[in-house]
Amino acid sequence: MVKFIHCSDLLLDEPFELKSNLPEHIMQDVYRATFESFKNLVDDAIEMKVDFILISGNLYSSKNRNIRADKFIEQQFERLNKAHIFVYYIAGTEDSLSQKTYTKYPNNVVIFSEDVQSYELITHNGQRVFIHGFSYKEQTTYENKLDSYPVNEVDQSIHIGMLHGIHHKIKGFNATEFRIEDLNEKLYHYWALGHLPYKKRLNDLPEIHYPGKMQGTHFSDTGRKGYLFVEGDHTTLDVKFIPTEHIRFERVTLTLNEIGKHAIYQDITDFKNSIRSSGKSMYQLKLVNPFETLIDSHLIQSILKQVQMYESNESQFVWIDDIELEQTFEVHTLASEFNTEHLENEMLFNQARVPIQRSSVERYADDISFDVHQMLLNHGESRLKLMMRDES
Cβ-Cβ contacts under 8 Å for 17 (sequence gap 6 or more): 217, 218, 219
Nearest-angstrom CA–CA distance, 211 and 113: 22
Burial of 341 (0-12, 13-18, 19+ CB in 10 A): exposed
pLDDT value of position 133: 98
- pLDDT given for residue 366 in this prediction: 63
What integer pLDDT is reported at residue 332 of this predicted model?
63
Would you state the pLDDT for residue 101?
Answer: 82
Q: Which residues, at least 6 apart from 221, have a Cβ–Cβ distance to it below 8 Å? A: 197, 198, 213, 249
pLDDT in tens, 283-315: 999 999 999 899 999 999 999 999 999 998 899
- What's the rounded Cα separation, in Å, for the pair 265 and 285? 12
Model confidence over 339-385: pLDDT tens digits?
777 778 878 777 777 776 666 655 555 667 777 777 777 777 677 76
Residues of the chain with pLDDT under 70: 331-337, 356-367, 381, 385-386, 388-392
Contact 147, 115 (CB under 8 A): no
Predicted confidence at residue 171, as pLDDT, reads 83
pLDDT at 362: 59
Distance CA 191, CA 125 (A): 22
* Predicted local distance difference test score (pLDDT) of residue 151: 96
What integer pLDDT is reported at residue 175 of this predicted model?
87
Task: Please name each of the domains of the chain with its CATH number.
Answer: 2-243 (3.60.21.10), 248-327 (3.40.50), 342-391 (no CATH)
Q: What is the pLDDT of residue 363?
A: 58
